[in-house]
């Protein structure tokens, strides 16, 4: 905490200042929320992070702090603009599956994530496979936005590049998962369910 708190606090302060805030209590709350996000899911953000340079961890901390702070202020703005509305559920099979993975039993969730990981490795460009998979998981498993992912030093891709990578991989995966389900249902005898 001693090592990363200044980096996280300065990032939270810069975001808060952009939104016209900056109370020390708010910055402390944002720092604590950032540490909670980093430690959530048994520190998965840290375990999944592949450092490409010694200082890349600082970029990850900045990216997570940026994401947490932006989410905080966007939530406040959304509440002012009708944030209580119920959004329509995602129709995208893959996004809906990932969104509800936490409600799955542990064994089913692990099988689903393993299948997704296998498909990811198959559809990703071999030259950028590791980076593309890391971008995908940072977005879908850790909730990081494209801007925050692009800000990680050593990632070597712009925000538009991150968005394009996520969209391309999601479309490939959706096609594979949906087609796989259709092939399974065509092979099942009538009256049986998936």
> pLDDT tens across 128-187, in order?
888 888 888 888 777 888 888 888 877 888 989 889 888 888 888 888 777 765 555 555
φ and ψ at 164, to 5 degrees?
-65, -40
| Percentage of residues of the chain with pLDDT beyond 70 | 77
Which of 97, 96, 153, 165 lies closest to 127 in space, CA to CA? Answer: 165
Helix (H, G, I), strand (E, B) or coil at 3: coil
What is the C-alpha to C-alpha distance for residues 80 and 57, in angstroms, rounded to an integer? 35
pTM of the model: 0.45
Over residues 28-52, the mean pLDDT reads 87
* Per-residue model confidence (pLDDT) at position 19: 84
Give the torsion sign (CA, 40, 64, 147, 25). Answer: positive
* Per-residue model confidence (pLDDT) at position 103: 56
What is the C-alpha to C-alpha distance for residues 63 and 59, in angstroms, rounded to an integer? 6
What is the C-alpha to C-alpha distance for residues 40 and 67, in angstroms, rounded to an integer? 14
pLDDT, the chain, mean: 77
- Show Cβ contacts of residue 113 under 8 Å, excluding neighbours closer than 6 positions: 101
What is the C-alpha to C-alpha distance for residues 100 and 143, in angstroms, rounded to an integer? 13
């Amino acid at each position: 905490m001693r090592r990363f708190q200044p980096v996280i606090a300065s990032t939270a302060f810069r975001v808060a200042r952009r939104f016209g805030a900056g109370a020390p209590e708010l910055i402390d709350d944002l720092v604590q929320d950032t540490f909670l996000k980093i430690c959530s899911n048994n520190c998965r953000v840290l375990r999944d992070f592949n450092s490409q340079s010694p200082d890349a961890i600082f970029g990850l901390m900045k990216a997570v702090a940026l994401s947490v702070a932006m989410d905080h202020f966007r939530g406040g703005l959304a509440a002012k603009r009708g944030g209580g509305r119920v959004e329509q559920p995602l129709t995208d099979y893959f996004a809906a599956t990932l969104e509800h993975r936490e409600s799955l039993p542990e064994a089913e969730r692990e099988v689903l994530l393993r299948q997704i990981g296998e498909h990811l490795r198959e559809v990703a460009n071999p030259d950028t496979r590791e980076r593309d998979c890391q971008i995908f998981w940072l977005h879908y498993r850790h909730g990081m936005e494209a801007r925050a992912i692009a800000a990680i030093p050593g990632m070597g891709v712009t925000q538009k590049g991150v968005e394009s990578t996520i969209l391309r991989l999601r479309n490939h995966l959706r096609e594979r998962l949906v087609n796989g389900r259709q092939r399974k249902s065509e092979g099942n005898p009538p009256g049986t369910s998936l």
